[in-house]
Amino acid sequence: MIRNYFVIVGVALAAVGLGLVAGRRWARTPAIVTQLLLLPVVYTLIGPSQQLLLGIVAGVYVAGTFLLLISEPSRNWSMGLDELGRQG
């Protein structure tokens, strides 16, 4: 039962990743939420698990991805403002 849940979540995250690569606007919000949900994982790796190297690497990856997703060009793209600038 629990294995099926993780398969569904994995497929959904793969769809979000493919959506971002394909330039689909709907994929940005689930990707941001996923990055926010990964922050406690990074904290657990660094703190209680004492896996400092893995925690730092994961933290840099999560923070970098999150910052790219919330950047101004990303926001403009998600609102369709980048296409307006190219046309006019």
pLDDT per residue over 12-57, tens digit each? 999 999 999 998 989 999 999 999 999 999 999 999 999 999 999 9
Residue 85, pLDDT above cutoff 60? no
What sections of the chain are H helices per DSSP? 2-21, 28-46, 52-69, 72-79, 81-87
In angstroms, the CA 36 to CA 63 distance is 9
Rounded average pLDDT over 76-81: 85
Q: For residue 58, what pLDDT is reported?
A: 97
Answer whether 31's CB lies under 8 Å from 78's CB: no
The gap between the terminal CA atoms of the chain, to the nearest Å, is 53
Phi-psi region of 51 (alpha: psi -120 to 50; beta: other; left: phi over 0): beta
Q: For residue 82, what pLDDT is reported?
A: 78
Give the domain ranges of the chain.
2-87
In angstroms, the CA 34 to CA 43 distance is 15
Q: For residue 86, what pLDDT is reported?
A: 61
Residue 27 tokens, joined: 């994929």
